[in-house]
């Protein structure tokens, strides 16, 4: 079932632009008296909210969440992808207020909040009706999600809830942003839909609200110093008891190009199409020589690899999550080897023989270890040996139907498996168990359907590893490492252990515009 699309209509634009008198009479005109009124009108009027939110969820935001963790790494190869050291900084935890990915993510999420406030102003002009209340609730829930992103990444941030305010805001403390997100979601729940089907896909439902609140509460000790683990269990139980969601037997199918509302494990997803609004994770991970295997109309970038230390999480070959690793010798779909035509020097630029120009047919073999030719430049080299370094993780399947580099796979934000693991973790951290559930039973229920062996003992290291296997590339690793006290660890070339790096700096470009904002400690 593809594809749920976000719609930006001229009807919404009616309220966002100035009007001019026309001498020609217009019949059936859209006015504030007849738009928005119906449920579909409110969905249309809120279209820009979803379009904006989609913008960087799998781009700059993904880079901040994944490349700063032990999950993924984007090294340079012959200078390619160095990009002013922005990815090197994320890996080493020595980023600064000028980092392009930090700046891009701030502009994306604050721009989304501005758009939401604008859309709320439109909807508030409509006559009172249940459809209006649902439309407003959905927009405010989206604003709560956006502010959760901000409090998670930056902590203390400006809080703006009205469109058109010209006064520059001051910084609001993290605990107050937490309270705002909590209240907005709790207030929205009565008016949100309880339906889970194609008509609500990609928009907040009651269950999206419960999932966001569970995520808020499980991180409460990090965000506010206050433990809220019983509240985590309560929110998770609201989702579990609904019986509207289930673990999917086909793990890979959840991330395929035709994923959508038919996936029973999805609680909230960000819809993409491969034309105007695609995500790019498959092309980032695929080696350049894999174009033919996946029948792609473009050459993949081959830029990102799995961090070597992270590979320890995929410790069972039969686990379906481990099967998404691309490793070792690579073959075409028909079983033929993927051959890279090069030379001895082209394969290894350090080759010293006099026959460096001799042709070589190299059977592509991905190896786990990264060997830097230039550590200071984060550079592996620009030969075939370098481009084959690092296993790849192909969770979001390549989109051979695309005529561009865009992927049509919808990006999952909340999944039912996360609900089960959050409940298990909350009980481990002191929450009262409910419904006879134990952390071990909850984790093993997930592992069984993922074809992984049953575990006998559960501790926090085992739980973190399970979350790493389950949610690799889904924007959760940084968040998890911080909560489990592992973000200051060492991996790859990273040795920094400064706890201030749990928050990103407010971009310098923003502070230059608004000196009322307070920079985060350590920057």
202-232 pLDDT, tens digit per residue, is 999 999 999 999 999 999 999 999 999 999 9
3-state secondary structure 389-414: ECCEECCCCCCCCCCCCCECCCEEEE
Summarize pLDDT for 305-346 with one digit per residue, the tens. 999 999 999 999 999 999 999 999 999 999 999 999 999 999
Q: Determine contact, residues 124/90, Cβ cutoff 8 Å.
A: no
Summarize pLDDT for 446-480 with one digit per residue, the tens. 999 999 999 999 999 999 999 999 999 999 999 99
pLDDT at 145 over 80: yes
Cα separation, 126 vs 268, in Å, equals 27
Cα separation, 415 vs 214, in Å, equals 12
Summarize pLDDT for 164-186 with one digit per residue, the tens. 888 999 999 999 999 999 999 99
Q: What stretches of 85-161 show up as alpha helix (H) in DSSP?
A: 86-92, 100-124, 130-153
* Structure-block tokens of residue 483: 């909560």
Structure-model confidence comparison of residues 362 and 30, the more confident one? 362
pLDDT at 272 over 60: yes
What is the distance between the terminal CA atoms of the chain, rounded to a whole angstrom?
47
- Tokens 């409509």 belong to which residue? 126
Q: Determine contact, residues 247/419, Cβ cutoff 8 Å.
A: no
Q: Indicate the pLDDT class of residue 2, thresholds 50, 70 and 90.
A: low
Cα separation, 495 vs 91, in Å, equals 10
- Give strand ranges (E) for 154-265: none
Q: Give residue 37's pLDDT.
A: 66
Q: Give residue 35's pLDDT.
A: 58
Beta bridge partners, 362, equal: 340
Summarize pLDDT for 498-521 with one digit per residue, the tens. 999 999 999 999 999 999 999 999
**Annotated domain spans of the chain:** 281-393
Q: Give residue 67's pLDDT.
A: 97
Structure-model confidence comparison of residues 400 and 142, the more confident one? 142
- State percent of the chain over pLDDT 70: 92
pLDDT at 404 over 90: no
Mean pLDDT calculated for residue range 430-459: 98
Q: Give residue 42's pLDDT.
A: 72
Mean pLDDT calculated for residue range 49-69: 94
Q: What is the pTM of this model?
A: 0.92
- Give strand ranges (E) for 359-499: 359-363, 365-366, 392-393, 411-415
Q: Determine contact, residues 31/248, Cβ cutoff 8 Å.
A: no
pLDDT at 425 over 80: yes
Summarize pLDDT for 15-53 with one digit per residue, the tens. 233 233 333 343 444 445 555 666 777 788 888 999 999
* Structure-block tokens of residue 177: 């942003």
pLDDT at 11 over 80: no
Backbone angles phi, psi at 246, to 5 degrees: -155, 155
For 170, 338, 353, 366, 484, the CA distances from 369, given in Å and listed in that order, are 46, 20, 25, 9, 26
Which DSSP category does 328 fall into? E
Burial (Cβ within 10 Å: 0-12, 13-18, ≥19) of residue 479: buried
Closest CA to 184 of 213, 162, 226: 213
Cα separation, 396 vs 253, in Å, equals 9
Q: Indicate the pLDDT class of residue 302, thresholds 50, 70 and 90.
A: confident
Q: Determine contact, residues 104/86, Cβ cutoff 8 Å.
A: no
Q: Report DSSP letters for 186-230, one per residue.
A: HHHGGGS----STTTTTS--HHHHHHHHHHHHHTHHHHHS---HH
Q: Give residue 284's pLDDT.
A: 86
* Structure-block tokens of residue 303: 């830029």
Q: Determine contact, residues 451/319, Cβ cutoff 8 Å.
A: yes
* Structure-block tokens of residue 514: 């608004």
The distance of Cα 454 from the centroid of its chain, to the nearest Å, equals 29
Residues found in the chain? 523
Q: In whole angstroms, how large is the CA radius of gyration of the chain?
A: 24
Q: Determine contact, residues 422/237, Cβ cutoff 8 Å.
A: no
Mean pLDDT calculated for residue range 132-159: 97
Q: Determine contact, residues 62/108, Cβ cutoff 8 Å.
A: no
- State percent of the chain over pLDDT 90: 82
pLDDT at 237 over 90: yes
CA angle (223 as vertex; 217, 224 as ends), nearest 5:
90
Q: Give residue 32's pLDDT.
A: 52
Which DSSP category does 267 fall into? E
């Amino acid at each position: 079932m593809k594809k749920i699309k976000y719609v930006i209509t001229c009807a919404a634009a009616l309220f966002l632009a100035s009007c001019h008198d026309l001498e020609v009479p217009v019949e059936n005109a859209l006015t504030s008296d007849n738009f928005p009124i119906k449920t579909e009108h409110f969905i249309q009027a809120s279209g820009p909210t979803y379009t904006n939110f989609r913008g960087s969820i799998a781009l700059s935001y993904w880079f901040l969440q994944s490349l700063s963790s032990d999950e993924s790494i984007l090294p340079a190869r012959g200078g390619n992808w160095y990009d002013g050291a922005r990815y090197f900084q994320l890996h080493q935890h020595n980023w600064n207020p000028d980092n392009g990915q930090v700046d891009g993510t701030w502009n994306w999420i604050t721009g989304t909040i501005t758009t939401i406030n604008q859309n709320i102003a439109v909807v508030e002009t409509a006559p009172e009706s249940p459809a209006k209340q649902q439309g407003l609730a959905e927009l405010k829930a989206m604003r709560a999600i956006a502010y959760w992103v901000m409090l998670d990444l930056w902590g203390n941030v400006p809080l703006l809830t009205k469109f058109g305010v010209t006064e520059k805001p001051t910084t609001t403390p993290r605990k107050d942003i937490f309270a705002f997100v909590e209240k907005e979601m709790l207030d929205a729940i009565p008016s949100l839909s309880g339906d889970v089907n194609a008509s609500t896909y990609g928009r907040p439902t009651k269950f999206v609200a419960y999932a966001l609140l569970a995520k808020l509460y499980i991180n409460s000790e990090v965000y506010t110093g206050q433990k809220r683990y019983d509240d985590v269990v309560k929110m998770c139980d609201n989702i579990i008891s609904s019986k509207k969601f289930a673990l999917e037997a086909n793990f890979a199918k959840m991330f395929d190009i035709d994923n959508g509302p038919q996936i029973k494990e999805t609680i909230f997803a960000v819809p993409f199409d491969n034309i105007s609004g695609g995500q790019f994770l498959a092309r980032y991970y695929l080696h350049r020589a894999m174009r033919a295997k996946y029948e792609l109309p473009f050459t993949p970038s081959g830029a990102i690899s799995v961090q070597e230390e992270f590979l320890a999480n995929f410790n069972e070959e039969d686990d379906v999550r481990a099967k998404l690793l691309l490793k070792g010798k690579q073959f075409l779909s028909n079983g033929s080897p993927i051959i890279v035509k090069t030379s001895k020097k082209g394969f290894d630029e350090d080759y010293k023989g006099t026959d460096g120009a001799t042709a070589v047919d190299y059977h592509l073999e991905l190896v786990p270890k990264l060997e830097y030719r230039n550590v200071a430049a984060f550079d592996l080299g620009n030969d075939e040996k370098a481009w084959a370094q690092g296993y790849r993780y192909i969770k979001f399947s390549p989109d051979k139907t695309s005529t561009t580099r865009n992927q049509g796979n919808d990006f999952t934000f909340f999944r039912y498996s996360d609900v089960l693991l959050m409940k298990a973790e909350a009980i481990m951290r002191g929450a009262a168990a409910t419904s006879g559930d134990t952390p071990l039973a909850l984790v093993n229920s997930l592992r069984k359907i993922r074809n992984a062996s049953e575990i006998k003992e559960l501790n926090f290291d085992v739980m973190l590893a399970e979350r790493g296997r389950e949610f690799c590339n889904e924007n959760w690793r940084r968040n998890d490492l911080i909560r489990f006290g592992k973000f200051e660890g060492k991996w790859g070339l990273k040795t920094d252990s400064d706890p201030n790096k749990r928050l990103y700096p407010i971009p310098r470009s923003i502070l230059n515009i608004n000196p009322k904002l307070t920079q985060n400690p350590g920057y």
